[in-house]
A and B are shown apart, each in its own frame.
Chain A
Amino acid sequence: MTQLTASRSSSSSGGSTRRRRGAAGGVANPDGLWPWLFVLPTLLGLAVFYFWPVLQTGYYSFTSWGVFGGAEFVGLKNWVDLVQSGVVPRALVNTLLYTAMLLLGIPIAIYIANLLNRPGLRFAAFYRVLYFAPFVSMPAAIALVWGMIFNSQYGILNQFLGVFGIQAVHWTSTEWVALIAIGIVGIWSALGFNIIILGAGLRSIPTDLYEAARIDGATNWRQLISITVPLLSPSIFFLFVLSVIHGMELFDLIFIMIGDSNPIKGDTHSMVSLFYREAFISNDKGTGAAIAILLMLIIGILTAIQFWVQRRWISFD
């Protein structure tokens, strides 16, 4: 058997690449039905649990749900309610604000990643662990810890600020301020991941560029601005896209840090926490679906804008 195959192949071994290329007509596909066995489980699963549900959610956004289930088509009512309610636009503003804060974390990450990439820097691996630990920590758990740090009465932050004569700030129970507090946690939590991604990009920048710059007398800062940032632009762009998507899906931190008894709860929703409340607490699946689809459209638009800007600004050379 082996001999047979061997002899058959040796006759055509010289042109094996060409044979593969033009296989459509001649040699039968060696894989037969195997590929379908390989992909079908995943494709069926994705169809049942993802593709069909997205379409269903789209349909649900035009329906109203009775107390005992059963959807009734109501046209654009949910969508009109979204705009008029005031709660959804506010949640959208909150979410955008949080997202903007996450983006502020990227320059910090560039700065730290650049420091970590210094030639001959000792303990770099140790520093990396310190900066990266928050990223692997359960958001629900770190939200509780930060909630304690931000606590207005006995949180360590206010007590620390008090040393400098700064009055106690109600970090998590003042409108807008709460979003800043959550944004700080978000930046802290994502910093390590951003540093890792940028670190991988930094390593691909040829070191002789820096040597040439140093010979020309360029300062570290100048090297960062003129060499590192432009050559890192693909990684930076990738982090922008990812941060926007991640920021727009804010849920864990706001859900835990702004508890049910918090007086600003009503005004301090993110799109996803509002979605959760409508769809699963109030059991208003129609409104929930409309919020989800709205969020999907906004993320799509923001991502498209970024790709459009990227075409004009970023060098992939």
Chain B
Amino acid sequence: MTDVQKAPRTVTRKPTGGRRGNNIGAHIILSIGGFIMVFPFLWQILMSLSSTAEVTSVPPTLWPSELRFDNFLEVFRQIPFLDQFWVSVQVAVATVVGQIVLCSLAGYAFARMRFAASAIIFAVMLSILMIPNQAYIIPQYQIIQSLGWLDTVQGIVIPTIFSAFGTFLMRQFFVNLPKELEEAARLDGANSFQIFWKVMLPLARPSIGALAIVTILAAWNNLLWPLVVTSRAEDRPLSVGIASLNGQYVIDYPVMMAASLMAMAPILILFIIMQRQVMEGLAHSGLKG
């Protein structure tokens, strides 16, 4: 988006005849590539509206004879979709809120407060980023099990609200704010928490947005951890519910496509509405991480 705005500045000043000719080639390549990128989604939608016979026919039925929206209703009959959707929503919201609160507090302290051994603690904390999930999942599972939290939302959420990455992301933001802001507030008699809460945190909105985006994507789409800590179908989030569709003996392909479409739609729609923020947020967090 930014480069689109920036582009005219460099281009309008000079004759553009040759460049525009080149861009036609770029449009052709980008369109073909773009079609390949969205084709699976288009195909998924078409299959979700077809009959089983049409999906499994040779040669393929490109366009279903009638659009069977019944497949979407059938999803509710075959899997506890609403339960799973509700679990996913709770997990996503709780994870985002938890991470934003904890990571901005800790990130702020590491960026702008002085306390003993803060640099060493920060370095040790970052070392967790080098370690793959699998290296702590077994004991995490045992903790959740001993708390009696298997098959609960808090069991899925609690370990993931503590985030070294999120803390790092927030610290990188806070560390760049000017010192004068803080000093002015302190002169007005604000204590450290008030400075954080009233002065600094409101400025951190872009970073909080970036963290929220990364977190919501991970929370909604994560498969392994919720697969491990849940076992009853109605207590599982959509990612696990969708994954388990594959193992069934009688596979109703159109319904499977409808269910997978419904599971990913909320995040896709959110992304399309907020595309600029999502892409900038990810570029921001990616470059900082």
Contact = CB atoms under 8 A, between A and B. Distances in A.
Interface of A: 1-2, 5-6, 9, 16, 20, 23, 29-32, 34-39, 41-43, 45-46, 48-54, 56-57, 60, 112, 115-125, 127-134, 136-149, 153-154, 156, 159, 188, 191-193, 196-197, 199-200, 202-203, 207, 211, 220, 235, 238, 242, 245, 248-249, 251-252, 255-256, 259-261, 271-272, 275-276, 279-280, 285, 288-289, 291-293, 295-296, 299-300, 303
Contacts of B4: 121, 124-125
Contacts of A153: 56, 58
Name the prevailing secondary structure of the B interface residues: helix
Nearest to B281: A196
B286 A238 contact: yes
Given A133-B268, A259-B247, A292 B260 contact: no
Contacts of B119: none
A256 B243 contact: yes
B132 A42 contact: no
Contact of B286 (A16, A45, A196): A196
6 contacts: A34-B193, A39-B115, A42-B102, A57-B136, A197-B282, A292-B135
Contact of A35 (B8, B56, B115): B115
| Size bin of chain B's contact surface | 35 or more
Name the prevailing secondary structure of the A interface residues: helix
B132 A296 contact: yes
A169 to B, nearest CB: 15
Interface in B240-289: 240, 242-243, 245-247, 253, 256-257, 260-261, 263-264, 267-268, 271-272, 275-276, 278-279, 282-283, 286-287
Given A45-B102, A120-B11, A199 B228 contact: no
A256 B30 contact: no
Contacts of B140: 49, 53
A41 B102 contact: yes
Given A49-B140, A136-B267, A39 B109 contact: yes
